[in-house]
Structure 1
Amino acid sequence: MIEKHISALLYRYQCVTVPGFGAFLTEIRTAQLDTAANTFYPPKKLISFNANLKNNDGLLANHIALQEKISYPQAVATIEQAVDLWLAKLSQKETLGLKNLGTMSCNVEGSLVFTPDTPINYFTDAFGLTAVVSPAVKREEYRQQAEAIEELAPVVFTPERKKDYSYLKYAAVFVVMASVGGAGFKMYRDNEVAAQTLVVENAVQEKVQQKIQQATFFIENPMPAVKLPVKEEYKVLPYHVVAGAFKSEANAQKAAAQLIDKGYKARVIEKNKFGLYPVIYGSFATYAEAHENMNEIHRTVNKEAWLLVKEL
Protein backbone atom coordinates (compact mmCIF):
# COMPACT_ATOMS: atom_id res chain seq x y z
CA MET A 1 0.00 0.00 0.00
CA ILE A 2 1.31 3.41 -0.96
CA GLU A 3 -0.83 5.44 1.49
CA LYS A 4 1.87 5.32 4.17
CA HIS A 5 4.41 6.81 1.75
CA ILE A 6 2.01 9.60 0.76
CA SER A 7 1.38 10.27 4.45
CA ALA A 8 5.13 10.44 5.19
CA LEU A 9 5.73 12.95 2.38
CA LEU A 10 2.90 15.25 3.49
CA TYR A 11 4.93 16.16 6.59
CA ARG A 12 7.57 17.82 4.38
CA TYR A 13 5.87 18.81 1.13
CA GLN A 14 2.79 20.80 0.19
CA CYS A 15 2.01 18.68 -2.88
CA VAL A 16 2.34 14.90 -3.30
CA THR A 17 1.29 13.68 -6.75
CA VAL A 18 0.07 10.12 -7.39
CA PRO A 19 0.81 9.58 -11.13
CA GLY A 20 -2.35 8.79 -13.10
CA PHE A 21 -4.67 9.54 -10.17
CA GLY A 22 -4.27 13.05 -8.71
CA ALA A 23 -2.40 15.13 -6.15
CA PHE A 24 -2.84 15.55 -2.40
CA LEU A 25 -2.33 19.17 -1.33
CA THR A 26 -1.80 20.71 2.11
CA GLU A 27 -2.59 24.18 3.43
CA ILE A 28 -1.61 25.50 6.87
CA ARG A 29 -4.49 26.66 9.06
CA THR A 30 -3.67 28.89 12.03
CA ALA A 31 -4.79 28.16 15.59
CA GLN A 32 -8.55 28.38 16.04
CA LEU A 33 -10.89 29.15 18.95
CA ASP A 34 -14.35 27.57 19.08
CA THR A 35 -16.24 29.92 21.38
CA ALA A 36 -19.31 27.70 21.42
CA ALA A 37 -17.36 24.70 22.73
CA ASN A 38 -14.73 26.76 24.66
CA THR A 39 -11.99 24.84 22.80
CA PHE A 40 -8.62 25.99 21.44
CA TYR A 41 -7.35 24.08 18.38
CA PRO A 42 -3.62 24.16 17.45
CA PRO A 43 -2.44 25.06 13.92
CA LYS A 44 -2.56 22.18 11.44
CA LYS A 45 -2.26 21.24 7.77
CA LEU A 46 -5.56 20.86 5.92
CA ILE A 47 -5.52 18.15 3.22
CA SER A 48 -7.27 18.58 -0.15
CA PHE A 49 -7.23 16.70 -3.46
CA ASN A 50 -6.79 17.85 -7.06
CA ALA A 51 -7.67 15.28 -9.73
CA ASN A 52 -6.12 17.38 -12.53
CA LEU A 53 -2.51 16.99 -11.34
CA LYS A 54 -1.62 13.52 -12.61
CA ASN A 55 1.84 13.87 -14.17
CA ASN A 56 4.67 11.98 -12.50
CA ASP A 57 7.01 14.46 -10.83
CA GLY A 58 9.20 11.65 -9.43
CA LEU A 59 8.72 12.60 -5.76
CA LEU A 60 6.53 9.69 -4.67
CA ALA A 61 8.27 7.08 -6.85
CA ASN A 62 11.73 8.06 -5.65
CA HIS A 63 10.59 7.99 -2.01
CA ILE A 64 9.11 4.49 -2.43
CA ALA A 65 12.28 3.27 -4.18
CA LEU A 66 14.46 4.48 -1.30
CA GLN A 67 12.19 3.21 1.48
CA GLU A 68 11.40 -0.19 -0.06
CA LYS A 69 14.96 -0.60 -1.46
CA ILE A 70 13.73 -1.25 -4.99
CA SER A 71 14.54 0.32 -8.35
CA TYR A 72 12.81 3.41 -9.65
CA PRO A 73 10.90 1.52 -12.42
CA GLN A 74 9.69 -0.99 -9.83
CA ALA A 75 8.43 1.87 -7.67
CA VAL A 76 6.55 3.34 -10.64
CA ALA A 77 5.00 -0.07 -11.31
CA THR A 78 3.92 -0.32 -7.66
CA ILE A 79 2.16 3.03 -7.92
CA GLU A 80 0.42 2.00 -11.15
CA GLN A 81 -0.90 -1.20 -9.53
CA ALA A 82 -2.29 0.73 -6.56
CA VAL A 83 -3.93 3.31 -8.85
CA ASP A 84 -5.56 0.55 -10.94
CA LEU A 85 -7.08 -0.97 -7.78
CA TRP A 86 -8.33 2.43 -6.61
CA LEU A 87 -9.94 3.29 -9.94
CA ALA A 88 -11.56 -0.16 -10.18
CA LYS A 89 -13.13 0.25 -6.74
CA LEU A 90 -14.37 3.76 -7.53
CA SER A 91 -15.83 2.64 -10.87
CA GLN A 92 -18.03 0.20 -8.93
CA LYS A 93 -19.48 3.15 -6.95
CA GLU A 94 -17.67 2.05 -3.79
CA THR A 95 -16.09 4.37 -1.24
CA LEU A 96 -12.30 4.25 -1.24
CA GLY A 97 -10.74 4.61 2.21
CA LEU A 98 -7.16 5.89 2.34
CA LYS A 99 -5.52 5.41 5.74
CA ASN A 100 -4.46 8.65 7.48
CA LEU A 101 -5.70 10.63 4.46
CA GLY A 102 -9.49 10.41 4.09
CA THR A 103 -12.14 8.84 1.88
CA MET A 104 -12.69 9.05 -1.89
CA SER A 105 -15.92 8.52 -3.84
CA CYS A 106 -17.55 9.44 -7.15
CA ASN A 107 -20.52 11.81 -7.32
CA VAL A 108 -23.44 11.56 -9.75
CA GLU A 109 -21.41 13.40 -12.39
CA GLY A 110 -18.56 10.90 -12.14
CA SER A 111 -16.12 13.34 -10.53
CA LEU A 112 -13.90 12.33 -7.61
CA VAL A 113 -14.93 13.73 -4.24
CA PHE A 114 -12.35 13.69 -1.44
CA THR A 115 -13.33 13.96 2.22
CA PRO A 116 -10.35 14.48 4.55
CA ASP A 117 -10.62 12.38 7.68
CA THR A 118 -7.37 12.03 9.55
CA PRO A 119 -6.40 12.29 13.22
CA ILE A 120 -2.83 13.14 12.21
CA ASN A 121 -1.59 16.73 12.21
CA TYR A 122 0.98 16.96 9.39
CA PHE A 123 2.16 20.41 10.58
CA THR A 124 5.50 19.58 12.25
CA ASP A 125 5.73 22.93 14.07
CA ALA A 126 2.61 21.95 16.04
CA PHE A 127 3.95 18.54 17.05
CA GLY A 128 2.68 17.50 20.49
CA LEU A 129 -0.04 20.16 20.64
CA THR A 130 -3.62 19.03 21.23
CA ALA A 131 -6.99 20.71 21.53
CA VAL A 132 -7.51 22.43 24.89
CA VAL A 133 -10.93 22.81 26.50
CA SER A 134 -11.22 25.70 28.95
CA PRO A 135 -14.42 26.62 30.82
CA ALA A 136 -15.77 30.12 30.24
CA VAL A 137 -14.76 32.74 32.79
CA LYS A 138 -17.93 34.16 34.36
CA ARG A 139 -16.57 37.47 35.62
CA GLU A 140 -19.94 39.12 36.32
CA GLU A 141 -21.12 36.19 38.42
CA TYR A 142 -17.93 36.20 40.53
CA ARG A 143 -18.26 39.95 41.02
CA GLN A 144 -21.81 39.59 42.36
CA GLN A 145 -20.69 36.84 44.75
CA ALA A 146 -17.86 39.07 46.06
CA GLU A 147 -20.22 41.99 46.60
CA ALA A 148 -22.64 39.74 48.52
CA ILE A 149 -19.82 38.56 50.81
CA GLU A 150 -18.73 42.15 51.47
CA GLU A 151 -22.26 43.10 52.53
CA LEU A 152 -22.41 40.23 55.02
CA ALA A 153 -19.00 40.91 56.62
CA PRO A 154 -19.21 43.18 59.71
CA VAL A 155 -16.99 46.26 59.90
CA VAL A 156 -15.70 47.13 63.43
CA PHE A 157 -13.89 50.37 64.21
CA THR A 158 -11.39 50.22 67.12
CA PRO A 159 -10.39 53.52 68.68
CA GLU A 160 -6.65 54.10 68.80
CA ARG A 161 -4.67 55.97 71.44
CA LYS A 162 -2.93 58.97 69.96
CA LYS A 163 0.83 59.02 70.48
CA ASP A 164 3.18 61.98 70.40
CA TYR A 165 5.64 61.76 67.49
CA SER A 166 6.65 65.44 67.41
CA TYR A 167 10.31 64.63 68.00
CA LEU A 168 10.49 62.94 64.59
CA LYS A 169 10.03 66.20 62.68
CA TYR A 170 13.19 67.65 64.27
CA ALA A 171 15.15 64.57 63.26
CA ALA A 172 13.86 64.91 59.70
CA VAL A 173 15.00 68.55 59.52
CA PHE A 174 18.48 67.61 60.72
CA VAL A 175 18.78 64.84 58.08
CA VAL A 176 17.73 67.20 55.28
CA MET A 177 20.26 69.86 56.32
CA ALA A 178 23.07 67.31 56.52
CA SER A 179 22.21 65.98 53.07
CA VAL A 180 22.20 69.46 51.52
CA GLY A 181 25.58 70.32 53.08
CA GLY A 182 27.17 67.07 51.89
CA ALA A 183 25.81 67.52 48.37
CA GLY A 184 27.16 71.09 48.20
CA PHE A 185 30.66 70.03 49.26
CA LYS A 186 30.68 67.14 46.78
CA MET A 187 29.62 69.48 43.93
CA TYR A 188 32.40 71.95 44.79
CA ARG A 189 35.01 69.17 44.90
CA ASP A 190 33.84 67.65 41.57
CA ASN A 191 34.07 71.04 39.83
CA GLU A 192 37.60 71.57 41.09
CA VAL A 193 38.78 68.14 39.88
CA ALA A 194 37.11 68.64 36.48
CA ALA A 195 38.88 71.98 36.00
CA GLN A 196 42.30 70.47 36.78
CA THR A 197 41.65 67.53 34.42
CA LEU A 198 40.70 69.88 31.57
CA VAL A 199 43.96 71.79 31.92
CA VAL A 200 46.03 68.58 31.70
CA GLU A 201 44.06 67.28 28.70
CA ASN A 202 44.53 70.56 26.79
CA ALA A 203 48.30 70.41 27.35
CA VAL A 204 48.49 66.82 26.10
CA GLN A 205 46.41 67.63 22.98
CA GLU A 206 48.73 70.53 22.09
CA LYS A 207 51.79 68.24 22.22
CA VAL A 208 50.05 65.60 20.09
CA GLN A 209 49.09 68.15 17.42
CA GLN A 210 52.69 69.38 17.26
CA LYS A 211 53.96 65.83 16.69
CA ILE A 212 51.40 65.25 13.95
CA GLN A 213 52.37 68.46 12.11
CA GLN A 214 56.06 67.55 12.23
CA ALA A 215 55.59 63.91 11.07
CA THR A 216 55.77 62.86 7.39
CA PHE A 217 54.12 59.63 6.32
CA PHE A 218 55.09 57.76 3.13
CA ILE A 219 55.17 54.18 1.77
CA GLU A 220 58.03 52.87 -0.35
CA ASN A 221 57.50 50.16 -2.99
CA PRO A 222 53.78 49.60 -2.45
CA MET A 223 52.68 46.01 -3.08
CA PRO A 224 50.58 45.39 -6.21
CA ALA A 225 46.87 44.73 -5.76
CA VAL A 226 46.02 41.07 -5.32
CA LYS A 227 43.00 39.61 -7.05
CA LEU A 228 41.40 36.93 -4.90
CA PRO A 229 39.44 34.22 -6.68
CA VAL A 230 35.75 34.43 -5.89
CA LYS A 231 33.90 31.15 -5.71
CA GLU A 232 30.75 31.18 -7.78
CA GLU A 233 27.70 31.18 -5.55
CA TYR A 234 24.56 29.40 -6.57
CA LYS A 235 21.28 31.13 -5.96
CA VAL A 236 19.20 29.13 -3.51
CA LEU A 237 16.33 27.63 -5.53
CA PRO A 238 13.82 25.07 -4.26
CA TYR A 239 13.27 22.85 -7.33
CA HIS A 240 16.02 20.57 -8.73
CA VAL A 241 15.98 18.09 -11.62
CA VAL A 242 18.02 15.11 -10.40
CA ALA A 243 20.06 12.94 -12.76
CA GLY A 244 20.99 10.38 -10.10
CA ALA A 245 22.35 9.87 -6.59
CA PHE A 246 25.74 8.31 -5.74
CA LYS A 247 27.19 6.75 -2.61
CA SER A 248 30.65 8.02 -3.55
CA GLU A 249 31.18 11.78 -3.71
CA ALA A 250 33.96 11.25 -6.25
CA ASN A 251 31.59 9.40 -8.59
CA ALA A 252 29.02 12.15 -8.12
CA GLN A 253 31.56 14.84 -9.06
CA LYS A 254 32.58 12.81 -12.12
CA ALA A 255 28.95 12.50 -13.26
CA ALA A 256 28.40 16.24 -12.73
CA ALA A 257 31.49 17.03 -14.82
CA GLN A 258 30.16 14.88 -17.67
CA LEU A 259 26.84 16.74 -17.59
CA ILE A 260 28.63 20.10 -17.58
CA ASP A 261 30.55 19.02 -20.72
CA LYS A 262 27.15 18.38 -22.33
CA GLY A 263 26.02 21.93 -21.61
CA TYR A 264 24.01 21.48 -18.39
CA LYS A 265 24.43 23.65 -15.29
CA ALA A 266 25.04 20.50 -13.30
CA ARG A 267 26.42 20.26 -9.80
CA VAL A 268 26.51 18.03 -6.72
CA ILE A 269 24.29 19.15 -3.83
CA GLU A 270 24.67 18.27 -0.17
CA LYS A 271 24.44 14.65 0.97
CA ASN A 272 20.90 13.57 1.86
CA LYS A 273 19.79 11.61 4.92
CA PHE A 274 20.32 8.31 3.05
CA GLY A 275 24.04 9.01 2.64
CA LEU A 276 23.76 9.70 -1.12
CA TYR A 277 25.12 12.64 -3.13
CA PRO A 278 22.46 13.82 -5.64
CA VAL A 279 23.68 15.14 -9.01
CA ILE A 280 21.29 17.66 -10.59
CA TYR A 281 20.88 18.93 -14.13
CA GLY A 282 19.89 22.34 -12.80
CA SER A 283 17.82 24.30 -10.27
CA PHE A 284 14.68 26.33 -10.82
CA ALA A 285 12.63 28.92 -8.97
CA THR A 286 9.17 27.55 -9.84
CA TYR A 287 7.61 24.12 -10.06
CA ALA A 288 6.39 24.75 -13.61
CA GLU A 289 9.91 25.53 -14.92
CA ALA A 290 11.42 22.50 -13.20
CA HIS A 291 8.66 20.17 -14.44
CA GLU A 292 9.00 21.41 -18.03
CA ASN A 293 12.78 20.90 -17.92
CA MET A 294 12.35 17.40 -16.46
CA ASN A 295 9.90 16.43 -19.24
CA GLU A 296 12.37 17.64 -21.87
CA ILE A 297 15.13 15.54 -20.27
CA HIS A 298 12.78 12.53 -20.20
CA ARG A 299 12.18 12.89 -23.94
CA THR A 300 15.78 13.43 -24.97
CA VAL A 301 18.29 12.13 -22.42
CA ASN A 302 17.22 10.34 -19.27
CA LYS A 303 13.78 8.84 -18.63
CA GLU A 304 14.60 8.23 -14.96
CA ALA A 305 15.34 11.86 -14.07
CA TRP A 306 13.18 13.03 -11.20
CA LEU A 307 12.24 16.23 -9.42
CA LEU A 308 13.61 17.10 -5.96
CA VAL A 309 11.86 19.79 -3.93
CA LYS A 310 13.85 21.30 -1.07
CA GLU A 311 11.99 23.70 1.24
CA LEU A 312 13.84 27.00 1.81
Structure 2
Amino acid sequence: MQLETYISDLLYRYDCVTVPEFGAFLTERVSAKVHETTNSFYPPKKVLSFNEQLQHNDGLLSSYIAEIEKIPYEVAVKKLAKHVKSVKSYLIQGETLTFNNIGEMLLNTEGKIVFTPSYHVNYLTDAFGLSQFVSQNIAREVYKENVEALEEAIPVAITPEKRASTSSATIWAGSTTKRPYLKYAAVALIALTIGGFTASNYYVNKVDAHNQIAQEEANEQLDAKVQEATFIISSPLPAATLSVEKQSGNYHIVAGAFRVEKNSDKKVQQLKDKGYNARKIGVNKYGLHEVVYSSYVDRIEALRALRQIKRTHNADAWLLVKALN
Protein backbone atom coordinates (compact mmCIF):
# COMPACT_ATOMS: atom_id res chain seq x y z
CA MET A 1 0.00 0.00 0.00
CA GLN A 2 1.30 3.43 -0.94
CA LEU A 3 0.19 5.01 2.33
CA GLU A 4 2.39 8.11 1.99
CA THR A 5 0.89 8.85 -1.44
CA TYR A 6 -2.67 8.78 -0.07
CA ILE A 7 -1.71 10.96 2.90
CA SER A 8 0.10 13.41 0.63
CA ASP A 9 -2.94 13.71 -1.67
CA LEU A 10 -5.23 14.51 1.26
CA LEU A 11 -2.87 17.07 2.83
CA TYR A 12 -3.39 19.37 -0.16
CA ARG A 13 -7.11 19.63 0.69
CA TYR A 14 -7.38 19.00 4.42
CA ASP A 15 -5.64 20.37 7.51
CA CYS A 16 -5.72 17.05 9.38
CA VAL A 17 -5.23 13.49 8.08
CA THR A 18 -5.58 10.82 10.78
CA VAL A 19 -4.03 7.36 10.50
CA PRO A 20 -6.12 5.14 12.83
CA GLU A 21 -4.21 3.62 15.76
CA PHE A 22 -1.09 5.54 14.75
CA GLY A 23 -1.46 9.35 14.80
CA ALA A 24 -2.50 12.41 12.82
CA PHE A 25 -0.63 14.62 10.36
CA LEU A 26 -1.55 18.26 10.90
CA THR A 27 -0.94 21.35 8.77
CA GLU A 28 -0.86 24.98 9.88
CA ARG A 29 -0.79 27.89 7.46
CA VAL A 30 2.01 30.45 7.98
CA SER A 31 2.43 33.76 6.18
CA ALA A 32 5.30 34.75 3.93
CA LYS A 33 8.38 35.90 5.83
CA VAL A 34 11.82 37.42 5.37
CA HIS A 35 14.97 36.14 7.06
CA GLU A 36 16.81 39.28 8.20
CA THR A 37 20.24 37.62 8.35
CA THR A 38 20.30 35.91 4.95
CA ASN A 39 17.87 38.33 3.18
CA SER A 40 15.85 35.30 2.05
CA PHE A 41 12.17 35.67 1.13
CA TYR A 42 9.93 32.66 1.86
CA PRO A 43 6.42 32.27 0.35
CA PRO A 44 3.38 31.37 2.47
CA LYS A 45 3.11 27.67 3.19
CA LYS A 46 1.60 24.92 5.32
CA VAL A 47 3.79 23.74 8.19
CA LEU A 48 3.48 19.99 8.72
CA SER A 49 3.46 18.33 12.18
CA PHE A 50 2.48 14.99 13.76
CA ASN A 51 0.33 14.30 16.83
CA GLU A 52 0.53 10.78 18.21
CA GLN A 53 -2.45 11.37 20.54
CA LEU A 54 -4.99 11.69 17.69
CA GLN A 55 -5.63 8.08 16.68
CA HIS A 56 -9.42 7.95 16.32
CA ASN A 57 -10.61 6.81 12.91
CA ASP A 58 -12.52 9.73 11.35
CA GLY A 59 -13.07 7.76 8.13
CA LEU A 60 -11.27 10.21 5.85
CA LEU A 61 -8.20 8.13 4.97
CA SER A 62 -10.09 4.81 4.89
CA SER A 63 -12.76 6.24 2.59
CA TYR A 64 -10.12 7.67 0.29
CA ILE A 65 -8.31 4.31 0.06
CA ALA A 66 -11.58 2.52 -0.63
CA GLU A 67 -12.44 5.04 -3.33
CA ILE A 68 -9.05 4.90 -5.06
CA GLU A 69 -8.53 1.12 -4.90
CA LYS A 70 -12.20 0.32 -5.66
CA ILE A 71 -12.64 -1.85 -2.58
CA PRO A 72 -15.30 -1.87 0.17
CA TYR A 73 -14.82 0.46 3.11
CA GLU A 74 -14.47 -2.39 5.61
CA VAL A 75 -11.75 -4.00 3.52
CA ALA A 76 -9.91 -0.67 3.33
CA VAL A 77 -10.05 -0.32 7.15
CA LYS A 78 -8.55 -3.79 7.66
CA LYS A 79 -5.90 -3.22 5.02
CA LEU A 80 -4.91 0.09 6.63
CA ALA A 81 -4.76 -1.46 10.11
CA LYS A 82 -2.47 -4.22 8.83
CA HIS A 83 -0.14 -1.66 7.24
CA VAL A 84 -0.05 0.39 10.46
CA LYS A 85 1.03 -2.69 12.45
CA SER A 86 3.87 -3.21 9.98
CA VAL A 87 4.98 0.42 10.35
CA LYS A 88 4.94 0.19 14.14
CA SER A 89 7.04 -2.99 14.08
CA TYR A 90 9.73 -1.25 12.03
CA LEU A 91 9.78 1.67 14.47
CA ILE A 92 10.06 -0.67 17.47
CA GLN A 93 13.08 -2.32 15.83
CA GLY A 94 14.80 1.10 15.85
CA GLU A 95 14.52 1.89 12.15
CA THR A 96 13.92 5.36 10.74
CA LEU A 97 10.94 5.41 8.38
CA THR A 98 10.83 7.87 5.51
CA PHE A 99 7.48 8.94 4.07
CA ASN A 100 8.02 10.53 0.66
CA ASN A 101 7.10 14.24 0.57
CA ILE A 102 5.99 14.03 4.23
CA GLY A 103 8.97 13.43 6.52
CA GLU A 104 10.88 10.95 8.68
CA MET A 105 9.85 9.08 11.86
CA LEU A 106 11.69 7.26 14.60
CA LEU A 107 11.20 6.30 18.25
CA ASN A 108 13.08 8.14 21.00
CA THR A 109 14.33 6.61 24.23
CA GLU A 110 10.91 7.10 25.84
CA GLY A 111 9.15 5.19 23.07
CA LYS A 112 7.52 8.29 21.58
CA ILE A 113 7.43 9.01 17.86
CA VAL A 114 9.72 11.84 16.75
CA PHE A 115 8.62 13.39 13.45
CA THR A 116 10.86 15.50 11.18
CA PRO A 117 8.81 17.12 8.39
CA SER A 118 9.99 17.38 4.80
CA TYR A 119 10.41 20.88 3.35
CA HIS A 120 10.48 19.82 -0.31
CA VAL A 121 6.71 20.13 -0.80
CA ASN A 122 4.46 23.08 -0.04
CA TYR A 123 0.94 21.79 0.61
CA LEU A 124 -0.54 25.29 0.35
CA THR A 125 -2.16 25.27 -3.11
CA ASP A 126 -2.56 29.07 -3.13
CA ALA A 127 1.25 29.40 -3.15
CA PHE A 128 1.85 26.95 -6.00
CA GLY A 129 4.69 28.14 -8.25
CA LEU A 130 6.18 30.49 -5.63
CA SER A 131 9.71 29.67 -4.50
CA GLN A 132 12.31 31.04 -2.12
CA PHE A 133 14.65 33.77 -3.36
CA VAL A 134 17.44 35.94 -1.93
CA SER A 135 17.65 39.72 -2.38
CA GLN A 136 20.64 41.98 -1.82
CA ASN A 137 20.56 44.15 1.26
CA ILE A 138 19.95 47.87 0.68
CA ALA A 139 22.18 49.79 3.10
CA ARG A 140 20.55 53.23 3.03
CA GLU A 141 22.04 54.32 6.36
CA VAL A 142 25.58 53.62 5.10
CA TYR A 143 25.07 55.91 2.12
CA LYS A 144 23.68 58.61 4.40
CA GLU A 145 26.72 58.40 6.69
CA ASN A 146 29.06 58.65 3.67
CA VAL A 147 27.31 61.79 2.47
CA GLU A 148 27.49 63.38 5.91
CA ALA A 149 31.21 62.58 6.10
CA LEU A 150 31.79 64.23 2.71
CA GLU A 151 29.88 67.32 3.76
CA GLU A 152 32.06 67.65 6.85
CA ALA A 153 35.29 67.14 4.88
CA ILE A 154 34.37 69.43 1.97
CA PRO A 155 32.20 72.30 3.25
CA VAL A 156 30.38 74.39 0.65
CA ALA A 157 31.02 78.12 1.07
CA ILE A 158 28.59 80.59 -0.51
CA THR A 159 30.14 83.97 -1.28
CA PRO A 160 27.62 86.82 -1.90
CA GLU A 161 28.04 88.65 -5.17
CA LYS A 162 29.73 92.03 -4.85
CA ARG A 163 28.09 94.75 -6.85
CA ALA A 164 29.70 97.92 -8.14
CA SER A 165 28.99 101.12 -6.24
CA THR A 166 27.64 102.68 -9.37
CA SER A 167 24.26 101.16 -10.21
CA SER A 168 23.10 100.25 -13.72
CA ALA A 169 20.32 102.85 -13.42
CA THR A 170 22.94 105.60 -12.88
CA ILE A 171 24.92 104.41 -15.90
CA TRP A 172 21.72 104.28 -18.04
CA ALA A 173 20.70 107.78 -16.97
CA GLY A 174 24.14 109.16 -17.73
CA SER A 175 24.26 107.47 -21.13
CA THR A 176 20.87 108.72 -22.21
CA THR A 177 21.69 112.19 -20.97
CA LYS A 178 24.85 112.34 -23.02
CA ARG A 179 23.34 110.47 -26.00
CA PRO A 180 19.58 111.25 -26.31
CA TYR A 181 19.20 109.27 -29.57
CA LEU A 182 19.81 106.01 -27.68
CA LYS A 183 16.58 106.54 -25.77
CA TYR A 184 14.49 106.58 -28.97
CA ALA A 185 16.31 103.54 -30.38
CA ALA A 186 15.56 101.55 -27.23
CA VAL A 187 11.86 102.49 -27.37
CA ALA A 188 11.67 101.44 -31.03
CA LEU A 189 13.37 98.09 -30.27
CA ILE A 190 10.86 97.32 -27.50
CA ALA A 191 7.92 98.20 -29.76
CA LEU A 192 9.22 95.96 -32.56
CA THR A 193 9.71 93.06 -30.14
CA ILE A 194 6.16 93.31 -28.75
CA GLY A 195 4.69 93.61 -32.22
CA GLY A 196 6.59 90.59 -33.52
CA PHE A 197 5.52 88.47 -30.59
CA THR A 198 1.86 89.44 -31.07
CA ALA A 199 1.98 88.72 -34.80
CA SER A 200 3.64 85.35 -34.21
CA ASN A 201 0.93 84.27 -31.75
CA TYR A 202 -1.81 85.38 -34.16
CA TYR A 203 -0.23 83.41 -37.02
CA VAL A 204 0.17 80.23 -34.93
CA ASN A 205 -3.44 80.41 -33.71
CA LYS A 206 -4.62 80.97 -37.29
CA VAL A 207 -2.72 77.87 -38.51
CA ASP A 208 -4.08 75.70 -35.67
CA ALA A 209 -7.66 76.74 -36.40
CA HIS A 210 -7.21 75.98 -40.09
CA ASN A 211 -5.74 72.55 -39.38
CA GLN A 212 -8.59 71.66 -37.05
CA ILE A 213 -11.25 72.66 -39.62
CA ALA A 214 -9.48 70.70 -42.36
CA GLN A 215 -9.23 67.62 -40.16
CA GLU A 216 -12.95 67.75 -39.33
CA GLU A 217 -13.89 68.09 -43.02
CA ALA A 218 -11.67 65.13 -43.94
CA ASN A 219 -13.26 62.98 -41.24
CA GLU A 220 -16.76 63.86 -42.46
CA GLN A 221 -15.85 62.97 -46.05
CA LEU A 222 -14.34 59.66 -44.94
CA ASP A 223 -17.45 58.75 -42.92
CA ALA A 224 -19.68 59.57 -45.90
CA LYS A 225 -17.62 57.36 -48.25
CA VAL A 226 -17.65 54.46 -45.81
CA GLN A 227 -21.43 54.68 -45.44
CA GLU A 228 -21.93 54.74 -49.23
CA ALA A 229 -19.50 51.86 -49.92
CA THR A 230 -20.94 48.47 -50.96
CA PHE A 231 -18.82 45.35 -50.77
CA ILE A 232 -19.70 42.60 -53.25
CA ILE A 233 -17.98 39.20 -53.24
CA SER A 234 -18.57 37.45 -56.55
CA SER A 235 -17.51 33.98 -55.42
CA PRO A 236 -17.73 33.65 -51.65
CA LEU A 237 -15.77 30.87 -49.95
CA PRO A 238 -17.71 27.88 -48.61
CA ALA A 239 -18.48 27.98 -44.90
CA ALA A 240 -16.03 26.02 -42.78
CA THR A 241 -17.28 23.93 -39.89
CA LEU A 242 -14.80 23.25 -37.10
CA SER A 243 -15.36 20.63 -34.47
CA VAL A 244 -13.73 21.79 -31.26
CA GLU A 245 -13.73 19.57 -28.23
CA LYS A 246 -14.64 21.66 -25.19
CA GLN A 247 -13.22 20.45 -21.93
CA SER A 248 -15.43 20.54 -18.86
CA GLY A 249 -15.29 19.51 -15.23
CA ASN A 250 -14.13 20.94 -11.93
CA TYR A 251 -11.15 18.59 -11.38
CA HIS A 252 -7.95 19.84 -13.01
CA ILE A 253 -4.48 18.24 -12.95
CA VAL A 254 -2.10 21.19 -12.66
CA ALA A 255 1.20 21.00 -14.54
CA GLY A 256 2.56 24.41 -13.52
CA ALA A 257 1.92 28.13 -13.08
CA PHE A 258 3.91 30.81 -14.87
CA ARG A 259 4.42 34.52 -14.34
CA VAL A 260 5.02 35.12 -18.08
CA GLU A 261 2.08 34.08 -20.30
CA LYS A 262 4.44 33.21 -23.17
CA ASN A 263 6.02 30.51 -21.00
CA SER A 264 2.59 29.06 -20.20
CA ASP A 265 1.79 28.85 -23.93
CA LYS A 266 5.08 27.04 -24.48
CA LYS A 267 4.25 24.57 -21.69
CA VAL A 268 0.81 23.86 -23.19
CA GLN A 269 2.38 23.08 -26.57
CA GLN A 270 4.99 20.80 -24.97
CA LEU A 271 2.28 18.81 -23.19
CA LYS A 272 0.14 18.59 -26.33
CA ASP A 273 3.16 17.22 -28.22
CA LYS A 274 3.35 14.47 -25.60
CA GLY A 275 -0.30 13.59 -26.17
CA TYR A 276 -1.92 15.39 -23.22
CA ASN A 277 -5.12 17.40 -23.63
CA ALA A 278 -3.41 20.43 -22.07
CA ARG A 279 -4.77 23.96 -21.82
CA LYS A 280 -4.67 27.17 -19.76
CA ILE A 281 -7.40 27.70 -17.17
CA GLY A 282 -6.76 31.35 -16.38
CA VAL A 283 -4.81 33.44 -13.90
CA ASN A 284 -4.88 32.79 -10.15
CA LYS A 285 -4.93 35.50 -7.49
CA TYR A 286 -1.13 35.68 -7.51
CA GLY A 287 -1.08 36.66 -11.19
CA LEU A 288 0.25 33.29 -12.38
CA HIS A 289 -1.02 31.61 -15.56
CA GLU A 290 -2.08 28.05 -14.66
CA VAL A 291 -1.54 25.17 -17.10
CA VAL A 292 -3.31 21.82 -16.67
CA TYR A 293 -2.78 18.42 -18.24
CA SER A 294 -6.53 17.99 -18.57
CA SER A 295 -9.85 18.59 -16.79
CA TYR A 296 -12.28 15.92 -15.59
CA VAL A 297 -15.89 15.76 -14.51
CA ASP A 298 -15.43 12.60 -12.45
CA ARG A 299 -13.23 12.93 -9.36
CA ILE A 300 -12.14 9.28 -9.34
CA GLU A 301 -11.08 9.48 -12.98
CA ALA A 302 -9.08 12.65 -12.21
CA LEU A 303 -7.29 11.00 -9.28
CA ARG A 304 -6.47 7.95 -11.39
CA ALA A 305 -4.99 10.19 -14.10
CA LEU A 306 -3.06 12.17 -11.46
CA ARG A 307 -1.38 9.04 -10.12
CA GLN A 308 -0.41 7.99 -13.65
CA ILE A 309 1.08 11.45 -14.41
CA LYS A 310 3.01 11.51 -11.11
CA ARG A 311 4.42 8.07 -11.82
CA THR A 312 5.38 8.61 -15.48
CA HIS A 313 5.85 12.33 -16.14
CA ASN A 314 5.73 14.84 -13.27
CA ALA A 315 5.94 13.97 -9.58
CA ASP A 316 5.00 17.57 -8.66
CA ALA A 317 1.62 17.52 -10.45
CA TRP A 318 -1.38 18.07 -8.19
CA LEU A 319 -5.16 18.13 -8.33
CA LEU A 320 -7.03 21.46 -8.30
CA VAL A 321 -10.76 21.48 -7.54
CA LYS A 322 -12.14 24.65 -9.11
CA ALA A 323 -15.28 25.61 -10.99
CA LEU A 324 -14.43 27.55 -14.12
CA ASN A 325 -16.70 30.26 -15.51
Bucket of the pairwise TM-score, normalised by the shorter protein: 0.3 to 0.5
Normalised to the residue count of structure 1, the TM-score between the two structures is 0.47
